[in-house]
Amino acid sequence: MPFDGQIGALEIGIVTSTFLFGITTTQTYLYYQLFPHDPKWTRQLVSVVWFFELGHSISAVHALYAYTILHFGDSNVPHMKAPLSIAVNLIISEIVFVFVQGYFLHRITKVSRTWFFTFGCSFLLLVRFVITFVAFVEAVLMDSLDQYTKDWNWALITLLSIGSFVDLVIPFGLVYFLYAQRSSAYKTTAAIVDKLILWTVETGLATGFLAVLILIFYLSLKGKFAWMSVYMCLPKMFSNAFLANLNSRVKLRAMQESTDVLEMSGPDSSVRNTIHFPHRLGAKVTVSTQKVRTVESDGYSKPIEENVCPGDETPSTANDIKDVVVVV
Q: Which tops the pLDDT comparison, 160 or 297?
A: 160
Could you tell me the residue ranges of all domains in the chain?
3-255, 260-318
The three-class DSSP label of residue 72 is: coil
Output the pLDDT for position 83: 82
pLDDT confidence bin for 33, thresholds 50/70/90: very high
Separation CA 244–CA 271 (nearest Å): 34
d(CA 235, CA 57): 10
Buried b (16+ CB within 10 A) or exposed e, 69-99: eebeeeeebbeeebbebbbbbbbbbbbbbbb
d(CA 318, CA 116): 22
Sheet (strand 286-297) strand order: 260-265, 270-276, 286-297, 300-308
Mean pLDDT of 228-249: 91
Enumerate residues 6+ apart whose C-beta is below 8 A from 199. Answer: 244, 245, 248
The torsion angles phi and psi of 304, rounded to 5 degrees, stand at: -120, 120
Mean pLDDT of 145-153: 80
**Mean pLDDT within 204-214:** 86
Query: Given this model, what pLDDT does residue 197 score?
Result: 76
Helix, strand, coil % over all residues of the chain, rounded to 5:
70, 10, 20
Q: Are 45 and 105 in contact (CB under 8 A)?
A: no
What is the share, in percent, of the chain residues with pLDDT greater than 70? 69
Report d(CA 192, CA 255) in Å as an integer: 7
Report, as an integer, the average pLDDT of 307-311. 44
The C-alpha atoms of residue 207 and residue 106 are separated, in whole angstroms, by 18
Answer whether residue 161 shows pLDDT above 60.
yes
pTM: 0.74
pLDDT of 233 reads 93
pLDDT band (50, 70, 90) for residue 251? confident
CATH code for residues 3-255: 1.20.1070
Tally Cβ neighbours within 10 Å of residue 144: 15
pLDDT above 90: residue 86 = no
Confidence of residue 238 (pLDDT cuts 50, 70, 90): very high
Which has more pLDDT, 221 or 320?
221
Helix (H, G, I), strand (E, B) or coil at 127: helix
pLDDT band at 319 (very low <50, low <70, confident <90, very high): very low
3-state secondary structure of 304: strand
Mean pLDDT of 220-226: 77
Average pLDDT, the chain: 75
CA distance 206 to 241: 9
Lowest mean pLDDT among 93-107, 172-186, 229-243: 172-186
Nearest-CA neighbor of 107 among 203, 223, 21?
203
Q: What does the pLDDT read at residue 195?
A: 73
Q: Residue 279: which pLDDT band, with cuts at 50, 70 and 90?
A: very low
* Alpha carbon distance 269, 274 (integer Å): 16
